[in-house]
A and B are shown apart, each in its own frame.
Chain A
Amino acid sequence: MNRLHLALLTLILTGLGLGIFAYKALVLHFPLLPHTASNVWTVEVALAFGAHGEPVKAAAYIPKNTGKFLLVDESFISRGFGLTTVSKETNRQAIWSKREATGKHTVFYRAVIRRVENEPPPVPLKAPEQKTPVLEGAFKEAAESILQELRGRSADTESLVRQIILRVQEKEPDHALKLLLGKKASALKKAQTAVALINLAGIPARVVHGIVLKAEGPSSERVQWIELFEKKGWHPYNSETGDNEISEDWLPWWRGNEPLLYTEGVQDAKATLSVEPHEEEAIQTTISSLEHKNPWFLEYSMFSLPIQTQMVYRVLLLVPLGALMVALLRNVIGIKTFGTFMPILVALAFRETELLWGIMLFTVIVGLGLVARFYLENLKLLLVPRLASILVIVIMLMAIISVLSHKLGITYGTSVALFPMVIMTMTVERMSVVWDELGAASALRQALGTLLVASLTYLLIRISVLEHLVFVFPELLLVVLAVCILLGRYSGYRLLELPRFRSLLDNQD
Chain B
Amino acid sequence: MFATAAALKARGVLGLNQRNAQYISRYNPRRLYPLVDDKLRTKKLAAAAGIAVPELFGVIRMQAEIRDLHQLLSKYPDFVIKPAQGSGGEGVLVIAGRSNGLYRQVSGVLLNSFELEHHVSNILGGMYSLGGHPDKAMIEARVGFDPIFEPICYLGVPDIRIIVFLGVPVMSMVRLPTRMSNGKANLHQGAIGAGISIAQGRTLKAVWRNQIIADHPDTGKAVSNIQIPQWEGLLQLAARSYELTGLGYQGIDIVLDRDRGPLILELNARPGLNIQIANGCGLLPRLQLIEGSCRSLQSAAARVEFARRSFS
Which residues does A use to contact B, with CB under 8 Å?
331, 334, 380, 382-384, 429, 433, 437-439, 442, 488-495, 497-498, 500-505, 507-508
Contacts and interface: CB of A to CB of B under 8 A. Distances in A.
B8 A383 contact: no
Contacts of B115: 380
Task: Using C-beta atoms within 8 Å of the partner chain, give the interface range for chain B.
Answer: 35 or more
Contact of A433 (B9, B16, B17, B127): B127
B189 interface: yes
A334 B19 CA distance: 14
Given A497-B15, A507-B280, A489 B21 contact: yes
A494 B118 contact: no
B13 interface: yes
Contacts of B276: 501, 504
Given A380-B115, A380-B118, 9 more contacts: A382-B125, A383-B122, A429-B127, A488-B21, A491-B17, A493-B5, A497-B16, A503-B210, A504-B282
Interface of B: 1, 4-5, 7-9, 11, 13, 15-18, 21-22, 63, 90-91, 114-115, 117-118, 121-122, 124-128, 188-189, 205, 207, 210-212, 276-277, 280-282
Contacts of A495: 1
B280 to A, nearest CB: 5
A334 B1 CA distance: 14
B32 to A, nearest CB: 21
A91 B188 CA distance: 79
Contacts of B128: 433
Contacts of B122: 383
Considering residues A380, A429, A488, which has the most beta carbons from chain B within 10 angstroms of its beta carbon? A380
A492 B15 contact: yes
Contacts of A437: 90-91
Contacts of A489: 21
Given A498-B1, A504-B11, A505-B7, A492 B126 contact: no
Contacts of A380: 114-115, 117-118, 121
Given A489-B21, A498-B4, A383 B125 contact: yes
B5 A505 contact: no
Q: 7 shortest A-B CB distances, which residue pairs?
A: A383-B125, A380-B118, A491-B18, A493-B15, A503-B210, A491-B21, A507-B280
Contact of B17 (A382, A494, A498): A494
A492 B20 CA distance: 11
28 contacts: A331-B17, A334-B16, A380-B114, A380-B115, A382-B121, A383-B126, A384-B125, A433-B90, A437-B91, A438-B188, A438-B189, A439-B189, A442-B188, A488-B21, A491-B15, A491-B17, A492-B18, A493-B9, A493-B13, A493-B15, A493-B17, A494-B16, A494-B17, A497-B15, A501-B8, A501-B277, A507-B280, A508-B11
A492 B188 contact: no
